[in-house]
Structure 1
């Protein structure tokens, strides 16, 4: 018993006419007859009674039809929905990104991508998280593509697409607030609000301080940019943060870091081994060609 046999059976059950059923199925009548006979042989029961040149579904055939028809309908519905998901013009992209990019970069990227006529019906399912959370989402196939800090994982490709400037932020009344730029060594004696271990920016900050041979005094560890800025604004410490959009909405002073030198990037990350649907491929190619 296979899918084609059950499909042919249902059409014949609905038409009760071999010629009409074969025409609807776009197969020859002998092929249909053979398929039904094989199905009956496999099940060990006759499904139709002959009625002149036509056939009439019997009680066993009707029993089978009642159980099989909903399954086939559901399979067809699933097939159609799957085709929509991977339709290069109408599919859905599961996109994830670090919090830093939520206020400006991601909204602008989606807006510009959808301005391309062939993309304007593509849908996005959005998710924010730390780089570590995004890595797990990529590995578990919950995320198609993401914008993150660099992910060091054998199964994930991370392509640098954009530099990300880092700033030292202080409360407005802090002793360093009068400066415009700073050597990180001069800030080392103050307590820091620091990103926790799950944040993709954490290794970058650790490396910055390693370069100047300083171990920062960490007052609090948090997991997103807004929280860091809020803690600094509350005079609980200073922090190194990405130069995020609307940083000036917080009552903090931002100083350019002139030492040590660094080159942090935003990365486009995706699973190397995972099937990439046409809509996701279009976004990946768009990002790589744009940036």
Structure 2
């Protein structure tokens, strides 16, 4: 059993398609198929079954995948630790983040960090609240920016970095677009453009509306702040977005209005796996972030 076979197996399992896996691995499709076939022969089991044009992983394949992913993650960590031991300034930091923090916050802190650590590399992974926690728990990323910050969790720990205000956004020409401040209940008759259910900002908006005494009528749903902002600007409804998600200027721009009743905020934190020492370069970045946000406040 070769390392290459295991790497090809994991890639095919994730893509469920040999051609797509081969493209990402930058090898011929025949080479991937051959390695998978040899792995199945060595194990004496069938790891995949054909389903239309795609491959579907078998039950025993899923079992094997869960073990191999952990093995490859540990191997990658061991290699990184050796490189960091030789020269921490050439290390790599694996960071997860939600989309709403990738617009402004993440590029800002990385740019500041690289002023003193220009050779450190970053591997970034975007995800939802649950997927980021899962990736930290599995050791696939070292650190994750997350919102809301989980105050108590059995498998992850970290630091609260800041609280950010959410603004109401309305289309140009809306009856409230000239207001400096509003009460959230003033939007109760409007259709809301809302995040999909797996996104934590949806829960924050729903809770704020509940406190304001109404349940929002949802007209459209989206998965990224850019989509929400664009739909509101196009007159499809109203919404609430974090201040950082409204820094980008585009041709189609909604109007932002401060909500004073109730005040709507979200907590933003940094998490890592509980009870496990971070790689040296990731610990340096974590300490930098804590100091950065103390000064930011």
TM-score under structure 1 length normalisation: 0.67
CA contact (8 A) 2:84 2:280 kept: no
Q: Kindly indicate whether the alpha-carbon contact (under 8 Å) linking 2:160 and 2:268 is maintained by their aligned counterparts in 1.
A: yes
- 1:146 corresponds to which of 144, 147, 166: 144
Q: 1:187: which partner in 2?
A: 187
CA RMSD of superposed structures (Å): 2.1
2:255 to 247, 253, 256: 253
How big is the shift at 1:178? 2.3
Unaligned ranges ≥5, structure 2: 1-76
How far residue 81 of structure 1 moved from its aligned partner, in angstroms, is 5.8
- CA distance in structure 1 between the partners assigned to 2:126 and 2:222 by the alignment: 15
Within 1, Cα distance between the matches of 2:115 and 2:198? 35
Task: State the TM-score, normalizing by the size of structure 2.
Answer: 0.66
- How is 1:40-79 mapped onto 2 (pairs within 5 angstroms)? none
Instruction: Tell me, in whole angstroms, the C-alpha distance in 2 between the residues paired with 1:143 and 1:209.
Output: 34
What residue number does 2:65 align with? none
Is 1:103 aligned with 2:96? no
Residues 6-40 of structure 1, C-alpha deviation per residue, up to 9 Å, x if partnerless? Answer: xxxxxxxxxxxxxxxxxxxxxxxxxxxxxxxxxxx
Contact 1:150 1:158 in 2 (8 A): no
Q: Once superposed, which parts of structure 1, at least 4 consecutive aligned residues long, lie more than 3 Å away?
A: 78-82
Structure 1 gaps, min length 5? 1-77
Structure 1, residues 227-273: CA drift from partner, whole Å, max 9, x if none? 10111122111100111253442421111111102442221122213
* Structure showing greater Rg: 1
**Aligned match of 2:285:** 283
Cα distance in 2 for partners of 1:81, 1:164 equals 34
Q: CA distance change for structure 1 residues 127 and 226 in 2, over 3 Å: closer, same or farther? A: same
Tell me the equivalent position of 1:211: 211
**Distance in 2 (alpha carbons) for counterparts of 1:81 and 1:265:** 31
What is aligned with 2:55?
none
The 8 Å contact of residues 84 and 91 in structure 1, kept in 2 or not, is answered as yes
Which one is further off, 243-252 or 94-103? 243-252
Corresponding position of 2:176: 176
CA 99–81 in structure 1, closer or farther in 2 if over 3 Å, else same: closer
The count of corresponding residues between Structure 1 and Structure 2 is: 212
2:90, 2:248 → 1: CA distance?
A: 36
